[in-house]
Structure 1
C-alpha cells in the first residue's frame, strides 16, 4: 500500500533500487545532492544536475520537464553518503512562472523498479519560492527510509545550494541553469507544443516564419501553465462534469459559429495534410508533425485512462456508501443503488471511449497521409521511398529506429525518431526481459533476431549519411553471427571484416579508444587541423555482438569508456547483449547500460514518453520477409564509398 506522506513524515523503503517520479504540470529542473551523516554536501561533485546528470547510484534528467523519472540505486552510492536529497527548481530566463505558488502543487513519488508506488508526497504551501527540497532518502541503522521535506527557497537555486554549505553556490546555480537553457534551446528530447487543428498550417500557408524557428531548428517551448495536467484531464476534483476534450485540440478563443455554414464549407474534422507542422523544410515539418502525433496520442490516451479511473473511483465510493448503511445492504433499495452506481460508471466510461475513438480516428487518418510522405531516413523498410533510394548529400536531422504504439489501438504506429548525430549509444537486448513475445522464442532465435535488428539499424545509419561520413566496425568475438552479418560483410560496407578472437578484438577497441582520445585532445586545444593525416573522418559505429563472451576486464573498461566519451566526438556504440548474462560483472557495467538506449528485437513495452509516462510498446525496424531492399540499399552505399575513396 502506498504511503501518502505529509511534511516531515518518513516511511521505510523495502528496496534499494528505486525510481523517483516528479509531476509538476510545468517544466522544472530536477537534481539530487549526496550528503554525509551530518547532512553536509562535500562539494559540487556530490550534486547531480542537468549539466552533470550522473553520480554513483543517482541519475537525473539533462533538461527541464514537467515530468521526471530519476533512477536511484542506494547500494551504489558511496559508503560515506547517508542522505540523497531531491531538489526541484524553476528554470529562469525561458519564460513562464517564476514562483511555485503560481503552479499546481508538485507531486513526487518513490516507486520500485516494477512501477509499484512506495511513498508519495504532494508539496503544498509553496508561495514565492522558486526552488524546493522535495524529499530525502536517508540511511538509519543500516536501513534506508524516505522523508518528505518540502523546504522552499525564495532565493532560488543559489540560496538552496548555499544552505547546503557549498562554496560558490551562485556560480554553480548559474552553471545548472545555463545547462537547462541550452537543453531547452535544442529540439532533441521533446517537440514544441502541438498547434491546434483550427490554426494548423495548410498547403497555401507559408511553412514557417523566422520567429517560429531559430537557427533552422524548432525550439521546444515549456508546457503552458494554464492547460490542465494530463493526468487530471478527465477527472474533476470536485465531482463535477468531466471534460473529454483533448487538451491539445482546444483553440485559445472559440470562434463564433455562423448560423448557417457557408456554401461549400467542409463538414466534420479537418482533412489531415502531410507536413502541416512548423519548420523551414519539409523534412523538419514532417519531423515535428510526427512528434506532434506522438504527443497527441499520449495525451488523449492519458485523458481516457484518467476518466476511466475517475469513473471507477466514483462507483467504488458510491458502493461503499451503500454497504456502510445496514439498511441498504439487503433488499430492493440496495440493489437499486448498486445498479445506479454501475450505470453511471458505464455511462462515464462509454463517453470517455467515444472521445478517445474520435481522437484515434483523426490520428489514424493523419498517419495514413504522413507515412507515405516520409523521407527515407524517417520511413520504414516497407515504404516505397527506399526503392528510389540514392546516397544523400547531406545528413538528415533524424533517423527512424522503429515504431511505438499503445494498447488502446495497437495498429496505430508512431515512428520512433531520434536526432542525428546520435547523442547516446544503442543496446539491442537479446534477453527475454519481461516481454511476452520474447518468452515464446527459444534462446537461439532471440539472439539471431537481436543481431538482425542491429544489422537493420546499422544499415539505416549507413544509408542516411553521405558517402565516407559513416563507418561501421563489428566485434563478433566467437564468430557466431556470420549469417545475420552477411548483408554488411558481403556488401563490403564494413571498415574491415568482423573482429573475432582476443587479439583482433583488443586491436579494434584500442584503435577506437585512441581515436576518442585524439579527437578530445584536438577539440580541447582547438587544433582540429593537427590530427594525424591517416585518421578516417566522419562518424564511427562499433557493433559488439554476444557480449560478454570473449571479453576480459580491459575490454569491458574500454567499452565503458566508449559509451561515456565516444558520442561527443562521433564514436558510437551498439551493444547486442543479454543484460542478465552480463550481470556477472556486477555494478561495473550498470553505468554503461544506463547510458545506452535499450531496444528490443521483438515487441516490448519498456519505453516511456516525456509527458505522462505511458509504457509504449516498441517494434524494431526489421526488413519485410522476402524483401531484398536492404541488400539493394547497401549495394548503393558500397558503390558510393568506392567512388568517394578514389
Structure 2
C-alpha cells in the first residue's frame, strides 16, 4: 500500500536502492543535498545538481524537466551522511513561471526500482516560493525513512542552500542555473564505478532514468501509474514553509490564514512517525543510546530529542488526518444540503449517515497508526528512562541513590517532562543544554495554571494561590539543587534573594546541607548587596575576556558558574534593582551568571513596559502541569510537567549533603 504523506509525516523505506520520481506542470530543476546529523551541508561537494549530477549513492537529472527520476542507493552514501534532501527549483530566464504559486502543486514519490510506489506527497501551500525542499530521507536508529517536507523559499535556490549551511550559496545557485540555461551535459552520463557493497566488485546493471544513470539490480524502470494530483493542504493550516503539517517554522505565525482546499486521502497505515513499516517487517527493538554521539551521555541526549521529534510528527499526522476526515465530511454534507432534491428524505439521511461513517472510518485508521507509533515510543521510553544519567533522570530514578559528585559538568540536564494530550501518559524528558543560554522564570501566579488543554486544568483547578506560590518555590529549589548536583564540587555557586523570607520552608534542603553557604538575602539592603556583587562579577569577567586577561581577575571574584534565585519578585526591588536584574538576564549567561526567578507577572505590572525585555529573555515554566510551551515547528502546545521531588522523599537532602561534603573536601585540599 502506498503511503500518502502530508507535511511532516514519515514512512519507513523498504530497502536501500530507490527512485525518487518528481512530476510538475512545467520544467523544474531537481537536485539533492547530503546533510550531516545536524542537517547541515558540509561542503559544495555534498549536492547533486545539473552541473554535478553524480555523487556516491546519488544521481540526478542533468536538465530541467517536468518529469524526473532520481536514483538513490542509501548503502553507498558516506558514513557522515544522515539526511538526503530532495530539492526542486524553477529555472530562471526562460519566460516561465516565477513562483510555484502559478503552477499546479508538484508531486514527489519514492518508489522501488521496479516502479512499485512506497510513498508519495503533493507539495501544496506554495505561493511566492521558487524553490522547495520536497522530501527528506533520513537515518533513524539504523534504518532509513522518508519524510514529506514541502518547505519553500521565496529567495530561490540561493536561500535554500544558505539555509542548509552553505557559505557560497549564491555562487553555487548561479552555477546551477547557468548549467540549466546553457543546456550543458544533456547526454547520458558515464557509467558509475563498481558498487562498493558487491563483494565480487561486479558493477550492477545500469538503467537510464530521466537523463541520468541509476543503479539497479533488476526491474524495468517503468513509470508508476499516474493517479492525478491530490491536495494535501488542510483548512485552518498555515501556508508558510514548515517541515510539518500544521504550522510554519520559527518565523511564521501559526495562525496565518489559508484558503479552503479540496479533500485529501487519510494517512495510510505506516505513514506516521515511529518505527516499523506496518507491512509485516520485524518491529524495531529499542536500545538505550541508539543515536549518534561521542559518549553515552551525548547519544542518550540525542535519542531523547529524536523521541521528542517522533512524537511531534506522529501526533501531527494524526491531527492532520482527523482534520481532513472532518473537512471531507463537512463538504459531503454541504453537497447534500446544496441540492434541494436531496436535502430531505431517506436519500438525504442515507447520505449523511454514509458521510459520518466514512469520517469515523478515517479517524479510526488514523488512530490505529497513532497507537502503533505511541506503543513503539513507549517501548523505547521504557528502555531509555532507566539508562539515563543523574543529570537527565527524574528524582525518583534509582540512579540518584548511587549518586557521586561528578568530575565534569554534563552537556545537559533535565528541566522537566513534555507530553501531548494524545500521548496517553507518554512523557519525554525536557533536556536543556548547559551552561544555560537563557534564564528561567517560574510563574507563581494564577497565569501559571490557566488554560491547559490536557492535565493542566485538572491539576491547577484545585491549587490555591498560596499553594501555587509554595509549589513554585519547591520547583525553584529542585532546579537549583540539580544544577548544584550535576556540577563538579566548587564549580557552582548559588545565591538566593528572598526579600520577605517567604520561601524559608522550600529552601530548607539547601540551607540544612550547607549547599547555600549563607542565609538568603532579605530586605532592600540584602537585595542591593547581592545584585551589586553579581553585576560587578559580570563587568569584570567581560572586561577580562575581551582583553584576554582572565588571569588578572581580582582574587575575590568567584569564577565558578553562578545561579541567582530570586523569590517573590518584585517585592523588595526598586528601579535600580530592576535594571540590574535585566542586565544580569541579558549579559550574565555569556560569562556564567544565570537567573532563576519565581514571580507572578501580574504583580510586576506597575513597572509597565520596563520589564517586557526581561520576561522575553527568560524561559517560562510552571510549578503545575500546563500546556504553555508552544512548538512553532509543528504548532503543538506541549504540556510541561515540573521536576518536583516525590512527596516524602529524602533523596534531595541525601544528594545535597554529598555535594556539600565534596565541596568542603575540595576547599580544605583533603
1:596 aligns with 2:618: yes
Could you tell me which residue of structure 2 aligns to residue 616 of structure 1?
Answer: 638
TM (norm. structure 1) is 0.65
Question: Is 1:499 matched up with 2:521?
Answer: yes
Conservation of the 8 A alpha-carbon contact between 1:501 and 1:550? yes
1:389 aligns with 2:403: yes
CA distance in 1, matches of 2:100, 2:566: 47
- Flag the 1:304–1:241 CA change in 2: closer, same or farther, 3 A: closer
Query: CA distance change for structure 1 residues 432 and 439 in 2, over 3 Å: closer, same or farther?
Result: farther
Residue in 2 that maps onto 1:306: 320
CA 285–501 in structure 1, closer or farther in 2 if over 3 Å, else same:
same
Q: Is residue 243 of structure 1 aligned with residue 268 of structure 2?
A: yes
Give 1:346's aligned residue: 360
Residues 274 and 374, structure 2, Cα contact 8 Å, conserved in 1 = no
2:444 to 430, 440, 459: 430
CA-to-aligned-CA distance 1:354-391 (integer Å, 9 cap, x gap): 11000011111111111111000000000000000000
- Pick from 521, 524, 530 the counterpart of residue 546 of structure 2: 524
2:502 is equivalent to residue 455 of structure 1: no
**What is residue 230 of structure 1 aligned with on the other side?**
245
| Displacement of 1:621 | 0.7
Per-residue CA deviations over 1:603-623 (Å, capped at 9, x if unaligned) read: 100112353121111111111
**Residue segments in structure 1 that go unaligned for 5+ positions in a row:** 1-22, 27-62, 66-93, 107-120, 131-149, 158-172, 181-225, 258-266
Would the aligned equivalents of 2:245 and 2:316 in 1 still touch at CA under 8 Å?
A: yes
Q: Deviations over 1:470-520 (max 9, x none)?
A: 111000001111111111111111143200011111011000001000111
Q: 1:408 maps to what in 2?
A: 422
Deviation of 1:418 (Å): 0.4
The equivalences for 1:85-104 within 5 A come to 101=90
> Structure 2 vs 1, CA of residues 296 and 122 (structure 1 numbering), >3 Å: closer, same or farther?
closer
Q: How many Å apart are 1:245 and its aligned residue?
A: 2.7
CA separation in 1, counterparts of 2:84 and 2:616? 32
Q: CA RMSD in A?
A: 3.6
- Secondary structure of the equivalent of 1:361? helix
Change over 3 Å in CA distance of 1:290–1:408 after alignment to 2: same
Instruction: Return closer, same or farther for 1:335/1:154 CA change in 2, 3 Å cut-off.
Output: closer
* Count of residues in Structure 1 that have an aligned counterpart in Structure 2: 453
- Equivalent residue in structure 1 for 2:130, among 122, 127, 130: 127
Per-residue deviation at 1:405?
Answer: 0.7
Structure 2 equivalent of residue 43 of structure 1 = none
Q: Cα–Cα, structure 1 residues 227 and 577, in superposed 2: closer, same or farther, change >3 Å?
A: closer
Deviations 1:260-289 (A, max 9, x none): xxxxxxx74222111111111111111111
Paired residues for 1:143-222 under 5 Å:
none
Change (3 A) 1:610 1:294: farther
Partner-residue secondary structure (3-state), 1:546: strand
**Residue 549 (structure 1) aligns with:** 571
Q: Distance in 2 between matches of 1:556 and 1:532?
A: 27
Distance 1:129 1:304 in 2: 24
Tell me the alpha carbon deviations over residues 426-469 of structure 1, each in whole angstroms, 9 at most, x when there is no partner.
00100111252334221111101000000000000000000000
Query: Using the alignment, how far apart are the partners of 1:615 and 1:403 within structure 2?
Result: 13
Partners of 2:131 and 2:157 within 8 A in 1:
no
**Is the counterpart of residue 318 in structure 1 residue 321 in structure 2?**
no
Distance 1:155 1:297 in 2: 31
Q: Give 1:6-45 correspondences, 5 Å limit.
A: none
Which residue of structure 2 lines up, in the alignment, with residue 282 of structure 1?
Answer: 296
CA distance in 1, matches of 2:603, 2:307: 37
Q: For 1:516 and 1:313, how far apart are their aligned partners in 2?
A: 56
In structure 2, relative to structure 1, the CA distance for the partners of 1:248 and 1:317 (3 Å cut) is: same
Distance 1:378 1:560, change over 3 A: same
Report if the CA contact (8 A) 1:227-1:247 is conserved: no
Q: CA deviation at 1:555?
A: 0.3
Which secondary structure state, in structure 2, belongs to the residue aligned with residue 230 of structure 1?
Answer: coil
Q: Does 1:628 align with 2:650?
A: yes
CA distance in 2, matches of 1:372, 1:64: 29
